[in-house]
Amino acid sequence: MAVKCSRCGKPAVAEIRYTRSRLCREHLIEFIERRFRKGNEEFKVFKNIRRIVAAVSGGKDSLAMLYLLHRFSSVYGYEIIGLTIDLGIDRGKEYSTKSVEAAVESFKKLDIEYVVVDLSREYGYTIDFIRDRGRRLGIRRPVCSVCGITKRYIMNRFALELGADAVATGHNLNDLAQFIFTNMYGGHIDELIKMYPKLPGGNGFTAKIKPVFMLYEKETTLYSILNNIRFHHDTCPHLENGIGGRFQTAIREKLEQLEEEFPGFMLNYVLTYMRRIRPLMVSGSSMGGDGDGDSGEKISVGRCRICGMPSLRDVCAFCSIRSRVSLKVSETISRSRGD
Ligand SMILES: [Zn+2]
Ligand SMILES: [Zn+2]
């Protein structure tokens, strides 16, 4: 006999252990949407936000975020512009091509204005190229770090150009629990402080928001499936040992085991950090604000000599990567042309 929904008695599609309930399709969607709203309201994520650039990779988390943002846009009074980046990751799997396709399909389906940034065409390199040649060009950062710098730079730059008040990314609760844990372990206070649903903008930075921070990975997956969202399932071919390698992967697995044993563990862990611990850290730090988007980023930064974007150094990390590849790329292009 089928398991019944705790609310209405229809067949249940999933069990939510931390609330001790089993829910049918309709009640599960309602439950996830309510948690989305509750979390964003508690941390005033949409306060003073009128235009959001939704950064969509084509995976389940960012697409669930896009649908949720879209569903409540009139409630909170913001408009959405979609952004997806073709990072040039192929490795025989057409990884980037499939990711961009999934993102664009949803932008069209929801009738959302969007931009596709082609890294190779716009900036002259691909992530695969960095993986293959980066070391020889003197880029010492791991490929995932270059990819992160690239994505953050493009998100911020396009959000500013499009006149947006915030960039939204699809980090879920499992991601945040992992990041909080590892940054606390490493004592990376500046990174730890960024683990928050909303970071104010200012000084050449757009505000950053994480609207699905309250949803478990399982919930963003279910929400995508229940709404027939076609997402790209593959993990990045460069992520051989998970994000940040074996250590980060192990932490994530242990946190997930704790969740299994004590349902609600990750939610409590993340919320305790955000409600009780982070406020104490912010008051003793250079960055912060109360997250309402009014205070601005308090670090005083200079400008990159090449691109004019905010940077702590003379040349920003993005431009220094570009300057190392640009020579090599132009050589390769002229060689392939035969001149
Ligand atoms: Zn029901
Ligand atoms: Zn720059």
The distance between the two most distant Cα atoms of the chain, rounded to a whole number of Å, is: 72
> Alpha-carbon dihedral of residues 284, 290, 294, 296, nearest 10 degrees?
30
Is residue 17 situated within a structural domain? no
- Give residue 274's domain range: 32-337
Domain CATH code at residue 97: 3.40.50.620
Q: Which residues surround ligand 2, an ion (CB under 5 A)?
A: 304, 306-307, 316, 319
pLDDT of residue 295: 43
- Give the ligand at the shortest distance from the Cα of 13: 1
- CA 306 to centroid of ligand 2, rounded, Å: 5
pLDDT of residue 246: 83
Specify the number of domains making up the chain.
1
Work out whether the CA dihedral 130, 242, 54, 110 comes out positive or negative.
positive
- CA 60 to centroid of ligand 2, rounded, Å: 31
pLDDT of residue 238: 86
- CA 194 to centroid of ligand 2, rounded, Å: 22
Summarised one tens digit per residue, pLDDT across range 213-248 is: 999 999 999 999 999 999 998 888 888 655 567 888
- CA 19 to centroid of ligand 1, rounded, Å: 14
- CA 23 to centroid of ligand 1, rounded, Å: 5
How many H-runs (helices) and E-runs (strands) does the chain carry? 14, 10
> Concatenated DSSP letters for 312-330?
SSSS-HHHHHHHHHHHHHH
Q: Give the residue from 168, 166, 153 showing the smallest Cα distance to 210.
A: 168
Is residue 23 situated within a structural domain? no
pLDDT of residue 280: 92
Is residue 21 situated within a structural domain? no
Residues of the chain with pLDDT under 70: 1, 240-244, 285-300, 327-339
> Alpha-carbon dihedral of residues 224, 225, 231, 233, nearest 10 degrees?
120
pLDDT of residue 237: 87
- CA 205 to centroid of ligand 2, rounded, Å: 13
Is residue 154 situated within a structural domain? yes
**Which of helix, strand or coil describes residue 40?**
helix
- CA 202 to centroid of ligand 2, rounded, Å: 17
- CA 26 to centroid of ligand 1, rounded, Å: 6
Is residue 2 situated within a structural domain? no
Q: Which residues surround ligand 1, an ion (CB under 5 A)?
A: 5, 7-8, 10, 24, 27
The identity of residue 8, as a single letter, is C
- CA 214 to centroid of ligand 1, rounded, Å: 22
- CA 166 to centroid of ligand 2, rounded, Å: 20
Is residue 16 situated within a structural domain? no
Is residue 161 situated within a structural domain? yes
Summarised one tens digit per residue, pLDDT across range 128-183 is: 999 999 999 999 998 989 999 999 999 999 999 999 999 999 999 999 999 999 99
pLDDT of residue 293: 39
Is residue 315 situated within a structural domain? yes
- CA 126 to centroid of ligand 1, rounded, Å: 47
